[in-house]
Structure 1
Amino acid sequence: MHPTTELYGRGVYRFLLTRQWVILTLLALLLAPTMIRLGTWQLHRHDHRQALNKVINTSLAAKPVAAETLTSVGGTVAHKDLYRRVTAKGHYDTAHELVVRRRTSTDDEVGYHVLTPFVLDDGRTLLVNRGWIPSPASQTAFPKIPAPPKGEITVTGRLRQDETTAASGIKNVKGLPDRQIMLINSAQVATLLRDSGDTSATQVLGGYVELTSPAPKGGSPELIPSPQEDRSWIGLGDINLPYAVQWWLFAAGVPVGWVILVRREARDRAERAAAETAEAAEPAAV
């Protein structure tokens, strides 16, 4: 039997009990399940994106309906109605217009979204996001906003759910300049409007609408683009599925790498031990 082969049977793997290898083994045992969980999380994100794309497709393809049929005063917009095309008949209340801070244009320029109360014929109020405008030089002064059409009109837009910090990641900063907000939340905006003296804001419908028509004259405010949607197998910009596969490959590589390192270490130790044995067995020179 070859000396190296013989030493493999003499407890050469006892090095696994050393502190260095115990730590390395524990690290491998921790990394593999962690990477599996990360891959599963990415897969859930992928599934969520695909489900949302389906809702968006259905909503944008459906015929417009009256906004008040899909929401109510103090109510919420159902997930299945997200981005549903809706219409509303009434007039804008520009006297109580608000701007939403830290919003970006299609060119990623930071500015404001213009949020204008739209009073329906029955007296209820619908919040309409009329689009994006650039930030003025002063961050405390209320910006100059192009006026919407006057008098009674019919607007069309996409229905959206109320924004929250949990869902959007946007912190609802307090103490902002007058008529400036961080989140489009119908309940919070209704309270703000009433506190500012808007007596017509007693019946504010839940959610809000992203305006699509009539288009503003001169292109300002800049209308918010339709949500991007892809029909490919992973979805437009969907990196979650490739990331999931990547994490699972990493997880599979951990035990494989551990085995390779262990066998290499065992072989190197066996060869060194065999060399030392052979050297010790050589007769001393006379």
Structure 2
Amino acid sequence: MYRFLLSRQWVILTLIALLLMPVMVKLGYWQLHRHERRVANNHLISDNLRAKAVPVESLTRPGAVVPKRQLYRTVTATGRYDTAHEVVARQRTAGDGDSIGYHVITPLVLADGRSVLVNRGWIAAGTDLTKFPKIPAAPSGEVTVTGRLRPDETTAATGIRNRSGLPDRMIMLINSGLMAKDLPAAERPVGGYIELAATTPKPSGRQPQLIPEPDHSSIGMHMGYAIQWWLFTAMVPVGWVILVRRERRERLAARDAAAEDGAARPAAAAVASP
């Protein structure tokens, strides 16, 4: 009664089941690896945020790419703000996750003449998106900033598409290489930028809204998804067996019904005979 497994329908169904199992196992491992990367990234960010602050010049230089191991590393920089070359990065979200505005990017000129871009925080966009917004004044004189080291933004890494023809002093990507074109030659910015956390001496007056620390506690649902894929994998052979047994039961029932019908016909014929 299992010869039906050789039928075209059952051969195709069995092949599909055999194909699905390794695919779902692989998808489970894909989610597991995403979970492991998320956990490792969270540990990296946590360690870098807690690490003792170091001068930004010790980790990067003009034209350098900030390596992933330095992501959100706590750094300091001492110098004077070059507000003449201050710009704003468009379409940035506030700490509430809803309000859209600008990030204020101001070069900080270091003692050796080089500069580092400082993201001083978020401001509201206002009503006229074609004009440079009114920005809270940066502290004057020499200051020491403490913040988180971030790599230069690129379209590939952020999904933000760079655009030309923007209003004056507006940018899409916070990128030291792109901004270097508009800075004095002596102010060659080091790679990456600082996400401001504190300023010494403490500035007076209103300042842009500081960007909150990144969330490094959530691990997402990747492990749960991995377990689900593996459970689905285990359900495939179970489901196949259930379908086979049901098909066999239905075929046996049909055979028995046919046999009973076949036996009933001669008896009925005999009764009907004179």
Same fold, TM-score > 0.5, yes or no: yes
Q: How many Å apart are 1:226 and its aligned residue?
A: 1.2
**1:176 maps to amino acid:** L
Secondary structure of 1:206 counterpart: strand
Partner of 1:76: 65
**1:119 maps to amino acid:** V
Partner of 1:184: 174
Say yes or no: does 1:156 pair with 2:138.
Answer: no
Q: What are the equivalent positions in structure 2 for 1:197-212 lying under 5 Å apart? A: 198-200=183-185, 203-212=188-197
Q: Identity of counterpart residues, as a percentage?
A: 55
Distance 1:34 1:12 in 2: 27
Does the C-alpha gap of structure 1 residues 251 and 139 become closer, same or farther in structure 2, counting only changes over 3 Å? Answer: farther
Distance 1:173 1:266 in 2: 65
Distance 1:37 1:12 in 2: 31
Does the C-alpha gap of structure 1 residues 272 and 14 become closer, same or farther in structure 2, counting only changes over 3 Å? Answer: farther
Distance 1:143 1:281 in 2: 95
Gapped runs of 5+ residues in structure 2?
Answer: none
Distance 1:174 1:41 in 2: 38
Gapped runs of 5+ residues in structure 1?
Answer: 1-7, 231-235
Q: How many Å apart are 1:35 and its aligned residue?
A: 2.2
Distance 1:243 1:207 in 2: 35
Partner of 2:230: 248
Does the C-alpha gap of structure 1 residues 12 and 78 become closer, same or farther in structure 2, counting only changes over 3 Å? Answer: closer
**1:210 maps to amino acid:** E
Q: What are the equivalent positions in structure 2 for 1:34-113 lying under 5 Å apart? A: 34-108=23-97, 109-113=99-103
**2:145 maps to amino acid:** V
Say yes or no: does 1:276 pair with 2:228.
Answer: no
Distance 2:22 2:129 in 1: 48
Say yes or no: does 1:222 pair with 2:206.
Answer: no
Structure 1 range deviating more: 25-34 or 152-161: 25-34
Distance 2:197 2:104 in 1: 13
CA displacement 1:121-143 (0-9 Å, x = unmatched): 11101011111111121222211
Computing the radius of gyration from Cα coordinates, the structure with the larger value is 2
Partner of 1:265: 247
Distance 1:266 1:107 in 2: 60
Distance 2:245 2:205 in 1: 72
CA displacement 1:64-88 (0-9 Å, x = unmatched): 1110000011012122221111111
- Given that 1:123 and 1:200 are in contact with CA atoms closer than 8 Å, whether structure 2 keeps it comes out as no
Distance 1:135 1:26 in 2: 58
- Given that 1:132 and 1:220 are in contact with CA atoms closer than 8 Å, whether structure 2 keeps it comes out as no
Secondary structure of 2:184 counterpart: coil
Distance 2:20 2:178 in 1: 44
Does the C-alpha gap of structure 1 residues 160 and 265 become closer, same or farther in structure 2, counting only changes over 3 Å? Answer: same
**2:263 maps to amino acid:** A
Q: What are the equivalent positions in structure 2 for 1:131-142 lying under 5 Å apart? A: 131-142=121-132
- Given that 1:13 and 1:266 are in contact with CA atoms closer than 8 Å, whether structure 2 keeps it comes out as no
Give RMSD over aligned pairs.
2.1
Does the C-alpha gap of structure 1 residues 175 and 80 become closer, same or farther in structure 2, counting only changes over 3 Å? Answer: same
Secondary structure of 1:90 counterpart: strand
| Length, aligned pairs only | 265
Distance 2:27 2:164 in 1: 35
